[in-house]
Amino acid sequence: MASLWRAVMGDTPPNPEDYDGVEYWSHPERTGWLTKQGEYIKTWRRRWFVLKQGKLFWFKESIVTRGSRPRGVIPLGGCLTVKGAEDVINKEFSFELSTRSDTMYFIADSDKEKEDWINSIGRSIVQLSRSVTDKEITDYDHSNR
């Protein structure tokens, strides 16, 4: 399986198939500036993030239209946890997003922004895991009748 970073950090913007059908420019669940760390060159870059339909997109500019192309996209269905990371990277307002094999780090502008992002991303991860689980669970309420 390709690493989370390789899936989202290639040298070129993501393939439109990675976000096909997601209208990230219209009614996103959450938007805002975050600073993210690069995988190979460990510099921190400020990017505009958009959360919509279980995907976390980022752009260089905060004006996102139908014609905008994301610089990267993270499918949250492959993520396991999102949590504060101040004690890991020694940066205030930081949090991490992890899969089985990778961890990405982000820095928000305030503690409130950090908590809001953690809550929004966490909700998406739970909803995506429930949608998979719900398909696998038998409805026991009806089986006892």
* pLDDT tens-digit readout, 126-136: 999 877 555 55
Residue 41 belongs to domain spanning: 4-135
Structure tokens at 47: 């990017």
The answer to whether residue 144 is domain-embedded is: no
Residue with tokens 């993030």: 49
Question: 60-115, pLDDT tens digit by residue?
Answer: 999 999 999 999 999 999 999 999 999 999 999 999 999 888 999 999 999 999 99
Structure tokens at 75: 């499918």
Structural domain total, the chain: 1
Residue 137 has pLDDT above 70, yes or no: no
The answer to whether residue 12 is domain-embedded is: yes
CA distances from 101 to 52, 78, 107 (A): 24, 10, 21
CATH of residue 72's domain is 2.30.29.30
